[in-house]
Amino acid sequence: MEDFVKLVKEMREAQKEYFRTRDKSMLQRSKELEKAVDKYISEYNQPKQTSMF
C-alpha cells in the first residue's frame, strides 16, 4: 500500500506542475502516472486466485 501512496503523490505533483506551467512533457508524465494508478487499482480489485493444489 505504501507504493500506491507514493505513486499517487507523484501523480498529483505532476498534475500540479502541469497546471502551473502547462508544459506538454508534464502533461504526458501526468497521463502516464494516471494510467499506472488506474492499473494498480484495477489489479488490487481483481479477485485473488488461489491454487487448489
pLDDT band at 52 (very low <50, low <70, confident <90, very high): low
The grid coordinates of residue 19 equal: 497546471
Report the predicted TM-score, pTM, of the whole model to 2 decimal places. Answer: 0.80
What's the average model confidence in pLDDT over 1-29?
96
Cα–Cα distance list, 13 to 10, 16, 30, 49, 51 (Å): 5, 5, 9, 35, 40
